[in-house]
Structure formats: structure tokens, C-alpha cells
Amino acid sequence: MSDDKNLKTPRLEINLHKIQENARILVENLAVKGISVTGITKASLGCPKIAKVLLSAGVNALGDSRIQNIMRMRNADITAPITLIRTPMMSQIEQVVEHATISFNTELDVINALSESAQKVGKNHGIILMLELGDLREGIMPEDIEGIVSKTLELPNIKFKGIGANLACRSGVVPDAKNMKELSDMANSLDAIFGFKMDIVSGGNSANLGWALKSLNIGRINNLCLGESFLLGLDPLTRKPIEGLYTSAFTLMAEIIESKIKPTKPWGKIGQSAFGKLPPIKEQGNISQILLAIGEQDTDPSGLTPPLGMEILGASSDHIIVKADKHSITIGNKISFKPNYAALLRAMTSPFIEKCFIS
């Protein structure tokens, strides 16, 4: 608990040293396997400070899903290659060509538009074609990819860079020897058909780490796009800590605005609350209840871990309600939480949360 009057609350304290160490360790361990790392910045709104830390830790490129975040990094004089990791919107083609080095693609119409726009400004744009491997988010069905590679190769100012896949996002499909071999085999077969050796075979995201670090045969996979693992030090498949990484790079601090002894059970006739149905209440008699000035609008309250001895009882748009211990009930005091990915994502995006960097 901190009572520093100069620091604004609520705030997200971001330890850049821990993020850098996490990135350095993962980059080193994957380099041994011949895998390069694209540092994904989308969970931090393309925060230039975090991007710079990832670059100094040895990632060979940056990646983000939103063109606005990429532009934010470009405005901060980041000249490293940046990949747009969501297939471009037709309405943003010009910005994509201007600011992103490469984009992930699945639609020929989009690649055609990228080519036209790139010709107009005399630039080249790199394309990675995403292959559907079963998670049913983005990706070209395997039987269609050869035709799309063939058409992509014909387009002016378009550079075909390779193929990629993304698992464990929509459906939680686990990256394993079987689906990664499918991606590898596809790279080999396309190379043979078209007579080149593609640069990039991107295996996926942080959920691939378990496979990549343990597998004795990674095949053609030579790139991963990592975000959550740098930031939180967790394996997204299990949300368990990855050995040797910090899991405490982010702390969310919120301020106590009410502190009272209250019963645990509400009274009156009960309907739905502001955010729908509620879990059953555990009767605990009278408790020390504190109200924090932070809510659903600022973070995902269900993704916060409170300090030992405290319990999050509920939340609304602007409040989180906590069962406190005896020592943390003074108005104006700050309570610190550990955010999960969802809580971090929302806190990073909230204009009400101060971002506070510690090195």
C-alpha cells in the first residue's frame, strides 16, 4: 500500500525492467531453436516505451492488430519493421501501406487493394498468408492457399513473405506437433510448387511456447508472435507462470473512497444488477467493506487478484467492492491488484487509468 500523494490513482504501475527481462529470456531460448520473435504490442495500445524495451531485448520486429497503435509507434520514431497482425480493413488500406511493413492476410480483395495503394505511393508491402488450422478465427482453408499464393505473387509492389497460423484464440485449439507439422508441410509444399524458399513461417502466439520450447522437431517454424508471455510471464494455455519469467510487471492501484462495516447480504427484493445476474452470496455476517474508485469501465474486475486477506465481492461501472482486512480500511489509502490479460487490456485502454512507468 502506497500513500504517495504525487501519484495519481487509479494507476497501472508498469515495470519495464521486468518486461525487458521476460522478453530477453524468451528471445534467447527461442533463438536456440531458430525461431525469431515478433513483439506484440496490442495489449499496451502500442505503447512506445514497451515497444522500445522489446526491441532492446532482441525481438526482430514488432506487431500490432490496430493500425492506430502502429501509427502511435511510428510517431514515436520507431523505425523497426512492424507487422499488422489482423487482416487489414478495406477502409484502412492506405494507412496500412504507409505504416506497416508486413500484414497478415486471408482475402485476395484486400491484397489487391494493398497492391494498388502500394503502387500509388511507390512502396512495397509484405504479405504473410494465414492458414486455418482449426481454431476457426482467421485463415485460408488449406485447399485454397496455393491459388492465393499464386495470385499474390503476380501483384505489383507486393512481397510474399511466407505463411502463418494462429491457434488457441477463438476456440482454444492447442498448438501441438500435429498442427504445427501441418503448417510446416504446407511451407515445404508451397516452396516446392513455386520454386522459392519462403522467409517466414510464423507458428502463432504465446500459446505456442510450450510446444516450441519442448519440441525436438520444430520443422519449418521460424517465427512466433509473442505478447502475453512478455507482459505477464504466463503460459496462456494454463495461465501458469513460465519458468524464469516475472509475473509481476503490472500492478493496478485503486483508491478507497468508502470504508464501513456492512452486512454481506443485501436486503429488499432482488432483480438483476447493472451487469446482469450475480453469483450467490456467501453469508459472512458483518464485514469490513471498502469501496474503490475503479470499476467495469476501467478494468475487468473478475480478472484482478487482490492482496492476501482481501476478497473482491462485486463491481459496478465505477466501483469495486472489497472485503478488507483490518489494516487497509483508511479512506484515501491505495489497494494493489495483479491484473490478468483481460483486466490489463481494459486498464491499458482506459483514459481514467494513469500509466506509471518504473524501471
Ligand X SMILES: *Cc1c(COP(=O)(O)O)cnc(C)c1O
Contacts of residue 274, Cβ cutoff 8 Å, sequence gap at least 6:
316, 317
3-state helix, strand, coil in the chain (%, to 5): 35, 25, 40
For residue 290, what are the β-bridge partners?
A: 259, 322
- Interface with ligand X (CB under 6 A), residue from 21, 228, 255, 298: 228
- 211: which DSSP letter? H
For ligand X, the closer CB: 207 or 218: 207
**Distance, CA of 353 to CA of 243 (rounded, Å):** 30
Chain centroid to CA 113: 28
Quick note: the x/- pattern for ligand X over 299-338, rule CB under 6 A, is ----------------------------------------
Quick note: the x/- pattern for ligand X over 201-220, rule CB under 6 A, is ----xxx-------------
How far is CA 181 from each of CA 44, 166, 203, rounded to the nearest angstrom? 32, 14, 10
95 interacts with ligand X by CB under 6 A = no
Q: Which residues are catalytic?
A: 42
Q: What is the nearest approach in angstroms of ligand X to the Cβ of residue 36?
A: 14
Q: Report which residue type is found at 218.
A: I
Q: What is the nearest approach in angstroms of ligand X to the Cβ of residue 329?
A: 37
On whether the CB atoms of residues 137 and 207 are closer than 8 A, the answer is no
Q: What is the nearest approach in angstroms of ligand X to the Cβ of residue 164?
A: 8
**Distance, CA of 339 to CA of 355 (rounded, Å):** 14
Q: Which stretch binds ligand X (CB under 6 A): 12-20, 149-157, 176-184, 199-207?
A: 199-207
For ligand X, the closer CB: 171 or 286: 171
What three-state secondary structure class fits 39?
strand
40 interacts with ligand X by CB under 6 A = yes
For ligand X, the closer CB: 49 or 66: 66
- Interface with ligand X (CB under 6 A), residue from 229, 289, 333, 340: 229
For ligand X, the closer CB: 117 or 205: 205
How far is CA 223 from each of CA 53, 94, 220, 257, 297, rounded to the nearest angstrom? 19, 27, 9, 47, 35
For ligand X, the closer CB: 10 or 236: 236
- Interface with ligand X (CB under 6 A), residue from 88, 175, 227, 233: 227
Tell me which residues in 43-82 interact with ligand X (CB under 6 A).
Answer: 65
The dihedrals phi and psi of 131, each to the nearest 5 degrees, come to: -105, 130
Quick note: the x/- pattern for ligand X over 114-153, rule CB under 6 A, is ----------------------------------------
Q: What is the nearest approach in angstroms of ligand X to the Cβ of residue 288?
A: 37
Rounded-to-10 torsion of CA 108, 227, 186, 213:
180
Helix residue ranges, H only, 195-310: 209-214, 228-232
- Residue at shortest CB range from ligand X: 227
Q: What is the nearest approach in angstroms of ligand X to the Cβ of residue 68?
A: 15
Q: How big is the site for ligand X, counted in residues (CB under 6 A)?
A: 14
The dihedrals phi and psi of 110, each to the nearest 5 degrees, come to: -70, -45
83 interacts with ligand X by CB under 6 A = no
For ligand X, the closer CB: 62 or 321: 62
Provide the 10 A C-beta neighbour count for residue 208. Answer: 30
Q: Which stretch binds ligand X (CB under 6 A): 9-17, 224-232, 241-249, 281-289?
A: 224-232
Q: Is 315 exposed, middle or buried (0-12, 13-18, 19+ CB in 10 A)?
A: buried
**Residues engaged in binding ligand X (CB under 6 A):** 40, 42, 65, 85, 166, 205-207, 225-229, 236
